[in-house]
Amino acid sequence: MDARIFNIQKYSIYDGPGIRTLVFFQGCPLRCLWCSNPEGKEARSRIMWNAGFCAHCGRCVAACAQGLHAIAGSPPRHEFREEAGEGRCEGCGACANACPERALALSGRRMSIDEIMAVVLEDRVFYQTSGGGLTLGGGEPLAQPEAAVALLTKAKAEGISTAVETCGHVPADTVARVAPLADLFLYDIKHMDSGRHKELTGRDNTVILENLKSLLASGAQVRVRMPLISGCNADLEEMRARAGFLQAWRDAPGFRGVDLLPYHKLGVHKYTQLGESYSLDEAAAVPAEFLEQAKALFEAAGLPVAVVRH
């Protein structure tokens, strides 16, 4: 069994309790405007080009059998297109291997579940001392359900605590299969209005909210996470709608509260490296005053809440 992975991040402290190893699954059904891991959106390997390192030497041109790299213009400069003519990037990595300046990186590869677990097990002692464990993130880990189930099953067999970060836009039977294997779900709410949700992420929220309700009704441990972006979803009316929705689940045995995640720009440079545009700007930042108001609003509704800054 393989999984398509684009990163394994050790010593993570934001993705569940304690010190965790975060495995990033590649491929996601949503296209959130603020996504900080754009290299994880599509279920295929991506070439990332760092212009600051490039010497425009042309070695990648010769290495790519698909003819996707070029040196052109005056002065001669490197150019890359993921598709050109008959060619399409196959994720072979030949160009990245040929680059003497490390200006190219191949993001995303297949790893066996055993290979991933070997990395996870390297830090078992940290999990034991901190109450941490393994977290599946992405991308969307449940978009690769067989791999997610296999990895979680192995982790449980090793006695390692498990968490799953999910956007929730996956089939209900996938959620039901994964629920007994996950000690904690970190579950996103991005907007309560289905039409606005679709504008911001490419999909409406129907499946997401139904899956969230099913999880909470089942007794699964769920911490709800809310990325907050000014101009998108950071307004008090929206916060009231969320608090109203969650109040019905306040006493559910597995409900673990709310994390408010204010907008950050940590992934913006990756859009440039992928040759993609990024539509948000400084105006997306969330004022401290709003965060205080939102926090107070959830507290007043009897919902445990924390602000988590990356």
Q: What residues line the site for ligand SF4 (CB under 6 A)?
A: 47, 54-60, 63-64, 66, 68, 78, 89-95, 98-99, 101, 103-104, 106
Shortest separation between residue 82's beta carbon and ligand SF4, angstroms: 7
Nearer to ligand SF4, 92 or 307 (CB): 92
CA gap 242, 294 in Å, rounded:
10
Nearer to ligand SF4, 54 or 241 (CB): 54
Candidates 76, 105, 111, 75; CA nearest to 91 is 105
How far CA 139 is from CA of 27, 60, 80, 154, 209, in Å, comes to 5, 28, 24, 21, 19
What secondary structure does DSSP assign to 92-111, as a single string? --HHHHH-TT--EEEE-EEE
Nearer to ligand SF4, 54 or 119 (CB): 54
Phi, psi dihedrals of residue 286, rounded to the nearest 5°: -105, 120
Shortest separation between residue 111's beta carbon and ligand SF4, angstroms: 17
CB under 8 Å to 92, separation ≥6 — which residues? 65
Shortest separation between residue 103's beta carbon and ligand SF4, angstroms: 4
Nearer to ligand SF4, 66 or 201 (CB): 66
CA gap 187, 164 in Å, rounded:
8
Nearer to ligand SF4, 78 or 203 (CB): 78
Q: How many residues does the chain have?
A: 310
- Tell me how far apart the 2 most distant CA atoms of the chain are, in Å: 66
Shortest separation between residue 54's beta carbon and ligand SF4, angstroms: 3
